[in-house]
Amino acid sequence: MKIAFGNDHAAGELKPLLLELIGELGHEVIDVGVAAGEAVDYPIPGEKVGRLVACKEADLGVLVCGTGVGISLAANKVKGIRAAACSDTATARLIREHNNANVIAIGARIVGAELAKDIVKAFLTTDFSGDERHVRRISLITEAEERFGK
């Protein structure tokens, strides 16, 4: 898969570890985040990753900021994006199985490096279940997005 990756300056030492993991899992990375020592306001990489995924230039997105929240909020402003900030592996798996989330966000100041890697691995190795009830619920989210012309 092609994975869009974005981060702000809070990603610190976590970014190279996650890029290494994503490569080990056999994926190609499109990196729109900042390098160590550079700063950026988190909405910028959040929107960039959202656009890459929404335009199908990437299959899924991985974001990192301090909490994972701000950058996920920005990604979610792009139509078609279902981004979630995750701090545990069960949620990372369930947002794929149940919500068909297409972007995950990690808080580099919230979770340690090993847990962050496990979270990203769970996200990238889990597929959407395709169960009717989940398809129906996601359609309701999409309909809400259409109604408000996001």
Residue (of 61, 104, 98) closest to 84 by Cα position = 104
Kindly name the residue from 27, 65, 86, 134 that is annotated as catalytic.
65
Smallest gap from Cβ 136 to ligand RB5, in A, equals 31
Question: Quick check: helix, strand or coil at residue 4?
Answer: strand
**Catalytic-residue membership of 98:** yes
Pull the structure tokens for residue 148.
């408000």
CA angle, 48 then 50 then 54, to 5° = 120
Question: Which strands make up the sheet holding 60-65, listed edge to edge?
Answer: 28-31, 2-7, 60-65, 103-107, 83-85
Q: Is 67 in the site for ligand RB5 (CB under 6 A)?
A: yes
Smallest gap from Cβ 22 to ligand RB5, in A, equals 20
Question: Residue from 22, 29, 42, 78 that binds ligand RB5 (CB under 6 A)?
Answer: 42
Q: Is 69 in the site for ligand RB5 (CB under 6 A)?
A: yes
Q: Is 70 in the site for ligand RB5 (CB under 6 A)?
A: yes
Question: Residue from 4, 5, 6, 10 that binds ligand RB5 (CB under 6 A)?
Answer: 10
**Catalytic-residue membership of 55:** no
Q: Is 12 in the site for ligand RB5 (CB under 6 A)?
A: no
Smallest gap from Cβ 142 to ligand RB5, in A, equals 25
Pull the structure tokens for residue 53.
């995924």
Compare residues 4 and 6 and give the one whose CB is closer to ligand RB5. 6
How far is the CA of 17 from the CAs of 26, 58, 78, 116, 150, in angstroms?
15, 20, 27, 9, 34
DSSP state of 33: S
Q: Which of residues 83-112 bind ligand RB5 (CB under 6 A)?
A: none
Residues binding ligand RB5 (CB under 6 A): 8, 10, 42, 65-67, 69-70
